[in-house]
Amino acid sequence: MTAVDTHRAILAVWRIEQPRLITSLARMLRDVPLAEELAQEALLAALEHWPRTGVPERPGAWLMTSARRLAINHLHRAPMLERSHAMLLRELEEAQAVAPDYAADLDDDIGDEMLRLIFTACHPLLPYDSRPALALRMICGLTTAEIARAFLVSDATVAQRIVRAKRTLSDSGLAYETPRGDELAERLSSVLEVIYLIFNEGYTAARGDDWLRPDLCSEALRLCRVVIAIAPHQPEAHGLLALMELNASRTAARTDATGEPILLLDQNRKLWDRIQIQRGMRSLARAEELGGASGFYTLQAAIVACHARAARAAETDWLGIALLYAELSAVTRSPIVELNRAIAVGMAEGPASGLAILDRIADAPELKGYHLLPSVRGDLLRRLGRHEEARAAFEAAAALAGNRRERDLLRRRAQEQG
């Protein structure tokens, strides 16, 4: 193995073991930021030792032993403020004295701990920007550099976001616990929001040249599966998973060989991932069985499912989509949803009906500067044969688009209007 291979192999093991390290340390130390730091230190130790010794037979047990030793050292250095501190140290030393038992490690059901960690990383009191970074770092095991690359920001920015979040966690003494009752619904919605934010950052790549950053999408999918595996009765979690699976199923069809975007209706549907669509459909059915049919994510998933069901673009159930958007619009009261409803109505009833909806939301402050408003308008105008107005709309949209490839596509559409 080359040094680079070994490094990659260690990071792979790390990603698998890291959530268990953090949850286990956090449970012992009752301090998530400290647990995260010690887990990172254990990784550094592995990166130092394993290239010489090779990856051990039981890498998880090695990392756990190493992290516990680091915890003991830390507690020895830290001032003994409380009796509980000394007790904690004794517990840790006792745990360390017995040979690490790999089977017992597997026995350790981390489901509840993991859920607690997710709720902590996505806590609504943490700075908004910090939540996805902290979740990716603590739960998915991504490095600061990987997160920075994925979000197109500098390493320093990500490091700062994580430090800020950890400081908030330490200072506020935010309870490291799984919320119950009414609080659960509110906190879960923050978790799902973070997951969806990570997914969308990967899926739409609002800035920069890459149309897709698939790693973020798969991490978001994985996080959502984690939430569902340990909290299986939340319909919106299933709805979100369905929405993401169904959207991600089109990944291979969304760009051409040179990376240029291909619009949904022009995509080669044979490239859609059937296995992923099936998984998405199953999750959607589950969300509906659990009574979540009118949920925010489930409704969106139901809309995407209409596309997934159509073998050809011409077979799309636009009326069904328009009705689902109407329902979603009632839930969200968002002009962006109305914008999408205008597209569907434009397809189901004709461009004039779509345009009528657009006229009603044209001045919505939420849509100011949003390139899709003139882009959709351009498309409806084009279909009405109003090419001059369509060209102006596409040009306006291109001027607002933040993604180079999307901008080029809109310019091309403007030119096509003659």
Residue 165 found at the interface with other proteins (CB under 8 A)? no
**Residue 252 binds to other proteins (criterion: CB under 8 A):** yes
Which residue carries 């979540």 as its tokens? 292
- Work out whether 16 is an interface residue with other proteins (CB under 8 A): yes
**Does the footprint of other proteins cover residue 262 (CB under 8 A)?**
no
Q: Find the part of the chain contacting other proteins (CB under 8 A) among 221-229, 319-327, 387-395, 402-410.
A: 221-229
Backbone angles phi, psi at 260, to 5 degrees: -75, 140
CB under 8 A: which stretch of 37-45, 213-221, 385-393, 406-414 binds other proteins? 213-221
| SS3 of the chain: helix, strand, coil, percent, to 5 | 75, 0, 25
Task: Choose which of 193, 219, 236, 288 interacts with other proteins (CB under 8 A).
Answer: 219
First to last CA, the chain: 59
The nearer residue to other proteins, 53 or 84, going by C-beta atoms, is 53
Q: Does 102 bind other proteins (CB under 8 A)?
A: yes
Choose between 251 and 267: whose C-beta lies nearer to other proteins.
251
Phi and psi at residue 208, in whole multiples of 5°?
A: 80, -175
Is 12 near other proteins (CB under 8 A)?
Answer: yes
Can you list the pairs that 58-62 forms with residues at least 24 positions away whose Cβ atoms lie under 8 Å? 58/100, 58/102, 59/13, 59/17, 60/13, 60/16, 60/17, 60/20, 60/102, 60/105, 61/100, 61/102, 61/105
208 is an interface residue for other proteins by CB under 8 A: no
Considering the complex, state which of residue 23 and residue 375 has its C-beta at the smaller distance from other proteins: 23
110 binds other proteins (CB under 8 A): yes
Q: Residue 164 or residue 269: which is nearer to other proteins going by CB?
A: 269
**CA 375 – CA 392 distance, rounded (Å):** 10
Q: How far is the C-alpha of 145 from the C-alpha of 220, rounded, in Å?
A: 18
Binding status of residue 122 toward other proteins by CB under 8 A: no
Confirm or reject binding of residue 198 to other proteins (CB under 8 A): no
From the list 42, 217, 284, 400, which residue makes contact with other proteins (rule: CB under 8 A)? 217
Nearest residue (CB) to other proteins, 23 versus 417? 23
Site for other proteins in 276-295 (CB under 8 A): 279
Nearer Cβ to other proteins, position 253 or 392?
Answer: 253
- Cα torsion 242, 377, 403, 195 to 10°: value is -20
Total number of residues that touch other proteins (CB under 8 A): 39
Burial of residue 257 (number of CB atoms within 10 Å: 0-12, 13-18, 19+): exposed
DSSP 405: H
CA–CA dist 137, 135 (Å, integer): 5
At its nearest, how many Å lie between other proteins and the CB of residue 50?
Answer: 12
Under the binding rule (CB under 8 A), the answer on residue 224 touching other proteins is yes
- Based on CB atoms, which residue is closest to other proteins, 70 or 195? 195
Q: Would you give the binding string for other proteins spanning residues 39-58, x where CB under 8 A is met? A: ------------------xx
Cα–Cα distance list, 79 to 22, 85, 86, 281, 331 (Å): 23, 9, 10, 55, 53
- Residue 401 engages other proteins in binding (rule: CB under 8 A): no
Contact by Cβ (8 Å): 38, 67: yes
When binding is defined by CB under 8 A, the residue of 3, 97, 99, 103 that contacts other proteins is 103
Q: Which stretch binds other proteins (CB under 8 A): 89-97, 158-166, 224-232, 337-345?
A: 224-232
User: Taking CB under 8 A as the rule, does residue 233 contact other proteins?
Assistant: no
Q: How far is the CB of 365 from other proteins (least distance, A)?
A: 36
> How many degrees, rounded to 5, is the angle at CA 37 between CA 33 and CA 40?
140
Q: Sign of the CA dihedral 216, 222, 227, 233?
A: positive
Other beta carbons within 10 angstroms of residue 98's beta carbon come to 8
67 is a site residue for other proteins (CB under 8 A) = no
Comparing CB distances to other proteins, the nearer of 113 and 379 is 113
The token pair at 363 is: 């001045």
- The residue assigned the tokens 């956090």 is 26
Nearer to other proteins, 11 or 367 (CB): 11
162 is a contact residue toward other proteins (CB under 8 A): no
Look at the block and give the residue holding tokens 């059937």. Answer: 274
Contacts with other proteins, residue ranges (CB under 8 A): 8-9, 11-13, 15-16, 19, 57-60, 102-103, 106-107, 109-111, 114, 214-215, 217-219, 221-226, 229-230, 248, 251-252, 273, 275, 279
